[in-house]
Structure 1
């Protein structure tokens, strides 16, 4: 991962879970990182301390990424700190609540779309001028989900729809931005325990049942996803774009 030394990263939702460990892995790979957070600065503060202990640079800032102006300001603060953006990791997302078809109302529908898709549009639009100016090309990594492939568990209809849209967004964006030397890929995690998502929305019994169907016989970890994101970010002279890497222990095979 030596190609990452000195690269400038903007990552969303890195206060815990996949975002936190992805930022940590990128810092340990030699990157300078600006960490967006929404629900707590304890994780970002630890990441800044880690970067400084390694002689690197990291900072963090709050934004509600469903708000275009707040997003733009956060990106501007990141660019002022980093001096540009080489790598964008769109990690923010969530199920909000498990609701079955008959329970879905328009406010919930719009909220899930905003959290999983509108945030990604706002961040990518705001970062685009700086990604275009990256010296050796740039890399965008979007967080999708196994739910976007399989439809997810019962009660995740709206969430699964948005994660399926992230897969298409990634393919379309790869075609649109390729001429600027910007690669766009996605990572689709399966069951990743220890994250806020599953702590809040997955019962112990449901997790145990899911693990029984995983060929590798275990749930994934945030570190499993972080390593994949770091790999996709590092391929500056690579030919991978428009792809989705499925990280699910063998549940989904294509």
Structure 2
């Protein structure tokens, strides 16, 4: 595993939950970091304070990453602040709402695709020239979901489809970018409580039912996922690429 001291990281959606804790973990591992946010600066402000206390560099900036020009500007600001880019964490995503097949309108369909896939396209395209210049190789980590593996719960049809696409995107991109020394991997979290996603879209009854089916007998935390992402980020010069790491307590085993 490579050392992350001094590595330059850009992470999307760092306001709360998995994004926040991943940024925290990477900062504590010695990275300099640029934090994208869409709504709310409290989390990024805390992370900048942490980085400063550890002698690291951190800054943050807003963008609607579904818009190509805003994504390009945010990535350019990150690369300028960091002086390059070694690690990209594509964390932005969301279910938007639970809708069953008969309730899905074209606008909703496109919105979920844009939030979970177009953001990843826009950011990764903009970051590619900087990642290619990373002297020891680079690492891209994409956030998928257990829903992309198993199909998810009822009402998550479009979300599950996009997260399955993220897994395929990661495998295909690993083949395409390998010649540049860029590793591409995905993380597929299961039930991770304490995030905006589950606070808004998962009832306590549903969570309790899901936990009963998890071999480890508990829900996951954002820190569980953050540690996994940090490991994959450290593989900027490693031999792991095109892989998906499942973080779900054993409910899905492959």
Q: Offset of 1:80 from its aligned partner?
A: 1.1
The residue that corresponds to 1:176 in the other structure is 176
Q: Is the 8 A contact 1:95 1:112 kept in 2?
A: yes
* Equivalent pairs, count: 254
Structure 1 residues not aligned, in runs of 5+: none
Q: How far does the alpha carbon of each residue in 1:125-158 deviate from its partner, in whole angstroms, 9 at most, with x for none?
A: 0000000000100000000000000000000000
The residue that corresponds to 1:215 in the other structure is 215
Q: Is the 8 A contact 1:2 1:30 kept in 2?
A: no
The residue that corresponds to 1:69 in the other structure is 69
The residue that corresponds to 2:53 in the other structure is 53
Query: Structure 2 CA distance, aligned partners of 1:146 and 1:182?
Result: 25
Q: How far does the alpha carbon of each residue in 1:158-186 deviate from its partner, in whole angstroms, 9 at most, with x for none?
A: 00000000000000000000000000000
Q: Is the 8 A contact 1:185 1:242 kept in 2?
A: yes
Query: Structure 1 CA distance, aligned partners of 2:62 and 2:180?
Result: 29
1:90-169 equivalent positions in 2, closer than 5 A:
90-169=90-169
Q: Is the 8 A contact 2:195 2:222 kept in 1?
A: yes
Q: Offset of 1:2 from its aligned partner?
A: 6.3
Which stretches of structure 1, 4 residues or more, deviate above 2 A after TM superposition?
A: none
Q: Offset of 1:238 from its aligned partner?
A: 1.6
Q: Is the 8 A contact 2:92 2:116 kept in 1?
A: yes
Q: Is the 8 A contact 2:2 2:238 kept in 1?
A: no
The residue that corresponds to 1:13 in the other structure is 13
Q: Is the 8 A contact 1:89 1:140 kept in 2?
A: yes
Q: TM-score under structure 2 normalisation?
A: 0.99
Q: How far does the alpha carbon of each residue in 1:197-217 deviate from its partner, in whole angstroms, 9 at most, with x for none?
A: 000000000000000000000
- CA RMSD between the two structures: 0.7
Q: How far does the alpha carbon of each residue in 1:50-98 deviate from its partner, in whole angstroms, 9 at most, with x for none?
A: 0000001000000000000000000111111100010000000000000
Q: Is the 8 A contact 2:214 2:250 kept in 1?
A: yes
Q: Is the 8 A contact 1:3 1:236 kept in 2?
A: no
Q: TM-score under structure 1 normalisation?
A: 0.99
Q: Is the 8 A contact 2:145 2:163 kept in 1?
A: yes
The residue that corresponds to 2:28 in the other structure is 28
Query: Structure 2 CA distance, aligned partners of 1:132 and 1:236?
Result: 12
Q: Is the 8 A contact 2:87 2:236 kept in 1?
A: no
The residue that corresponds to 2:38 in the other structure is 38
Query: Structure 1 CA distance, aligned partners of 2:126 and 2:238?
Result: 25
Query: Structure 2 CA distance, aligned partners of 1:31 and 1:232?
Result: 14
